[in-house]
Structure 1
Amino acid sequence: MFGVNMFFLILSVLLIYAVFNKRVKRLVDKALKVCEIKLDKVLKEKERE
């Protein structure tokens, strides 16, 4: 009984972690892309001066 409950607990935690991890990864990717675009704009403006 206890072993089965423990198994499902670990399984659910891993599942939640996997879903959360994917979302965090997407957010980090989006943030990095935004930062890259801003850096490109700043560099281009400095080149013009």
Structure 2
Amino acid sequence: MWVCHSQLHSIEGDWEDIGIPPTLPTVPGHEVVGKIVGVGKTLQILRWVKE
């Protein structure tokens, strides 16, 4: 799954000093690419690119 890097800053709280607190859950923005390979309560692994 790929996301816009600015979204990672927002999720990780890097922009709190300018008044943008981290919010979870978050809604992906305009640059999201991913492949859903499973759903359900037993799904426990989220693999990132290059894993």
Please report the TM-score for the alignment, with normalisation by the length of structure 2.
Answer: 0.19
Please report the TM-score for the alignment, with normalisation by the length of structure 1.
Answer: 0.20
Larger fraction in helix: 1
